[in-house]
Structure 1
Amino acid sequence: MAISKKDQIVQGALTAFAQNGYSETTMDTIAEAAQVAKGTLYYHFTTKEELFLYVIEKGVKMLIDSVENVMNNEQLSLADRMISVLDEHLRFFSENRELCFLLLSFFTGDENRDQMMARHLADYFLMMEKHMTVLQQQGYIKAEVEVRTIASAMFGMVGFTVLRKQFRKEPVDISTSRETLRHMLEGILQTNN
């Protein structure tokens, strides 16, 4: 199935923003990266900011959907869902390197744009906190652990682990990284459930 022009533009924009940052990326740069004419680009997106926010919104929605699919998988026990969320984060960030970079370095220098990005990421954190609260209420996460910190730590520890490996040109989803991150995560889980 052929990729739509809009999706082609979004992928090109993601690449351009990740490589150049927001300030240094131009609509010309995006058109070149997406391999589309400038008229096609402007037909779909009238400004760089509109396109940037669309890229972020779409990327965060993809992350939310992928994690929610795991958390809603009733074939897994609740405890296994928590560990599977770690694996899903590793998979998602390793397959979406440029998005991972943008989400972890989202400050663009414009307060309104940064607040908009923070609102999109807030949707992700609220979803994670909701699922983790259920796990905590059912005794799978230690009662003394603060759920908001867990959600932030999960995002950061996986995201930065993946990013560092990518910058060093190392394989991302290797068993050593996965096991180390799993051991860290297991420290917050109740052992008697």
Structure 2
Amino acid sequence: MAPSKKDQIAQGALTAFAQLGYSETTMDAIAEMAQVAKGTLYYHFSTKEELFLYVIEKGVKMLIYHVDSVMQNEQLTLEDRMLNVLDEHLRFFSENRELCFLLLSVFTGDEQRDLTVAKLLTGYFTMMESYMTRLQEQGYIRADVEIGTLASALFGMVGFTAIRKQYRKEPLDTPENKHTLRCFLAGMLQTKQ
């Protein structure tokens, strides 16, 4: 099934923003990368900022959906769910490298836009912190671990690993990378007594 024009434009915009940065991306560049006429682009999005926020929001919602699906898998133990959340981040960032780069370099220099993006990311962090707090209350995460820092560290640990691997043209979602990141995360987990 072919993507809708709006999705085609969003993908072209994601590529443009990831490659050129926000300030250097123009609506002309987006139309060219999306392979649509400028009229089609403006029919769906009236400004570059509107399109940028749409791309970020769509990406964050997609990440939340994928991670939440793993967290809700009741066929896994809580500890396995936490480890699988790490695996899902690896898979997601591996399959969505441009989005990963954009989410980790999102701040544009415009205070209002940056605040809007930060609010969009708050949904992700709220979900992760809520999940991790429940695990901590149930004894699966060490009591001395600050949950906000853990949620941020997980996102950054996988995200920056993804960016580094991308720059080096190395695969991300490999057994070796997964094992190494799981070792870091395992230091926060404890076997429930």
1:173 positional shift? 1.1
1:191 positional shift? 2.7
* CA distance in structure 2 between the partners assigned to 1:162 and 1:108 by the alignment: 21
Partner residue in 2 for 1:49: 49
Partner residue in 1 for 2:126: 126
* CA distance in structure 2 between the partners assigned to 1:123 and 1:56 by the alignment: 12
Partner residue in 1 for 2:66: 66
For 1:114-193, what aligned pairs fall within 5 Å after superposition? 114-193=114-193
1:177 positional shift? 1.0
Q: Which amino acid aligns with 1:12?
A: G
* CA distance in structure 2 between the partners assigned to 1:105 and 1:188 by the alignment: 27
* CA distance in structure 1 between the partners assigned to 2:136 and 2:76 by the alignment: 16
Percentage of matched positions with identical amino acids: 74
* CA distance in structure 2 between the partners assigned to 1:50 and 1:94 by the alignment: 26
Partner residue in 2 for 1:34: 34
How many pairs are equivalent? 193
* CA distance in structure 1 between the partners assigned to 2:20 and 2:61 by the alignment: 23
Name the SS of the counterpart of 1:18 in structure 2: helix
Partner residue in 2 for 1:99: 99
* CA distance in structure 1 between the partners assigned to 2:123 and 2:27 by the alignment: 28
Q: Deviations over 1:78-120 (max 9, x none)?
A: 0100000000000000100000001000110100000000000
Partner residue in 1 for 2:87: 87
* CA distance in structure 1 between the partners assigned to 2:129 and 2:93 by the alignment: 19
1:2 positional shift? 1.2
Q: Provide the TM-score with structure 1 as the length reference.
A: 0.99
1:192 positional shift? 4.1
Q: Which amino acid aligns with 1:176?
A: E
* CA distance in structure 2 between the partners assigned to 1:192 and 1:46 by the alignment: 53
1:133 positional shift? 0.5
Partner residue in 1 for 2:19: 19
Partner residue in 1 for 2:109: 109
Runs of 4+ in 1 over 6 A off after TM superposition: none
* CA distance in structure 1 between the partners assigned to 2:180 and 2:40 by the alignment: 46
Q: Which amino acid aligns with 2:90?
A: L
* CA distance in structure 2 between the partners assigned to 1:100 and 1:51 by the alignment: 17
